[in-house]
Amino acid sequence: MSSSRPIRVAFIAAECEPWAKTGGLADVVDALARALGQVGLGAACGLADLVDVYLPNYRGIQVPGAAQAVPLSVPDPLARSGTTALRLLISETHGYRLHLVDHPPAFDRDGLYGPPGDGDHPDNAWRFGLLCRAALEHLRTGGSTGAPPDLIHIHDWHTGPAALLRDSVYRADPAIGGAAMLLTVHNLAYHGWTPPERAPELGLSPRELAAVGATNGIDLLRAAVTRSDLVNTVSPGFAAEALTPEFGMGLDGDLRARGDRFFGILNGLDTELWDPATDDALPARYSRENRSGKGACRRALLGELGLDPSDARPVLSMIGRLDRQKGFDLLAAAAPALIAQGFRLAVLGSGSHEVVEPLRAVAQSPAGAGRIALVERFDRDLARRMYAGADGFLMPSRFEPCGTGQMVSLRYGTPPIVRATGGLRDTVIDVDRDPVAGTGFAFEGEDPKALVAACARFERHRSGDRAWDSLLDRGMAVDFDWRSASAPAYLEAYRRAIALRAA
């Protein structure tokens, strides 16, 4: 293939904002697909067309009005007829071409991955195998444009079946067998382990399962890590950490074995979607040039959460999936000391309620009354009001491949207090380490005392420091726009993967 021919790129993903989201994966898939269209179309060495995104048509998705329904028959060794009939709902929207894989028995149920708050759907291998099979089958015959993809970009374990299918069912198929594959690992902790009795549901025959070594069950993320032409994760910092047993989640050896075929590309942020100057969810809008509306956001947020709006003492917000990863237990351990020092906490989380039990106990104790607001649900608009209305933003993650919250909080003029790990280390500069360039506060380790100390440094700067305004200003000025660095880096990775595949 000529190195300068425009390329065709397809994404397969389990989440995409605004249709289906539990975390940052959705933000990235949507924003990267759009940014690639913006920087790649018409560029030398760019894209031949919009990115094609394949996503399950989960329950509750508002299918774009102009979507065209295209029937598709997908080979399925477990179906009596040998095929599963489904539909693709195709629309050009948000700067890419969305393909919703519509098969109600697989996707019309509560919860993307499992019943809310209750583990996984037992047949996830079948559900996500079907997503991948539908995408590859459609792409094989030219997709929506009549031409097969040069590169298939898969995301996290849910799309691991695509790597298995490419190397078995579609091995001899020139369109899919010849296409390059890039895996982006957004979260190394979830592997999609599929036990032997469930492996046939992936859509491979017994012979094909044996050929890809899945007869005794299969770790779908590992399969994608070992089989994709290139693998990246979402920050250089986490890419380095992932090679160690401490952060590698059992895949550090597989990642080390990929040598320079595994690397980090820092996520961007959709700066149009996340902009306090245009955010409809906020009671008042503000910008880097004029932050006066932020005070109104603070007052409204505290009123909404039942915290005293007239109290000037610091309010820290935290937003995230209720997962051990995010460090809610660390915050719970630190909370009594923080309350004693005058802090108030506004916490929004969704997922497993157990994770937040220790924090709930502090919130319900006499000391926590009026000091901790804990909201346990997914609430897109409240999250926006919390990014804007708090004085500081907490992200004490145990590990963090990149993290979105700290980038949003910087953009919303709410300095982040983060654990120095992975992408958090790459995106937040500690102001005591670098008073000229600093944008927030970082602490090392898992000791709650370190978190309390970082919050105390935050308050010292906020209450006494004439440089506080400059700190906010620098944070709001950071250029996380996908189009600046991240999307061009992906285009370069696509070219490299295509060259590797061709060789």
Residues that bind ligand ADP (CB under 6 A): 23-25, 27, 187, 319-321, 348-350, 378-380, 383, 403-405
- What the block records as the tokens of 17 is 């904002």
Distance CA 85, CA 322 (A): 36
| Helical residues (DSSP H) of 318-391, grouped into ranges | 328-340, 357-364, 380-389
Minimum CB distance to ligand ADP, residue 5 (Å): 34
Q: Which of 495, 153, 212, 231 is nearest to 503 (CA)?
A: 495
Distance CA 216, CA 199 (A): 8
Q: Are strands 180-185 and 392-395 parallel, antiparallel or unpaired?
A: unpaired
Minimum CB distance to ligand ADP, residue 422 (Å): 10
> 165 or 374, CB closer to ligand ADP?
374
> 88 or 185, CB closer to ligand ADP?
185
Minimum CB distance to ligand ADP, residue 266 (Å): 12
- What the block records as the tokens of 102 is 């519509």
> 403 or 475, CB closer to ligand ADP?
403
Minimum CB distance to ligand ADP, residue 322 (Å): 8
Minimum CB distance to ligand ADP, residue 157 (Å): 14
Q: Please, which residues have CB within 8 angstroms of residue 345's CB and are 6 or more apart in sequence?
A: 315, 316, 317, 318, 331, 335, 338, 339, 371, 372, 373, 374, 394
Name all contacts of 204-210 with Cβ < 8 Å and 24+ positions apart. 204/77, 204/164, 204/165, 204/168, 204/169, 205/77, 208/168, 208/169, 209/168
The torsion angles phi and psi of 412, rounded to 5 degrees, stand at: -95, 15
> 298 or 321, CB closer to ligand ADP?
321
Minimum CB distance to ligand ADP, residue 418 (Å): 11
> 368 or 401, CB closer to ligand ADP?
401
> 47 or 224, CB closer to ligand ADP?
224
Q: Are 331 and 347 in contact (CB under 8 A)?
A: yes
Minimum CB distance to ligand ADP, residue 469 (Å): 25
* 3-state secondary structure (DSSP) of residue 70: strand
> 57 or 325, CB closer to ligand ADP?
325
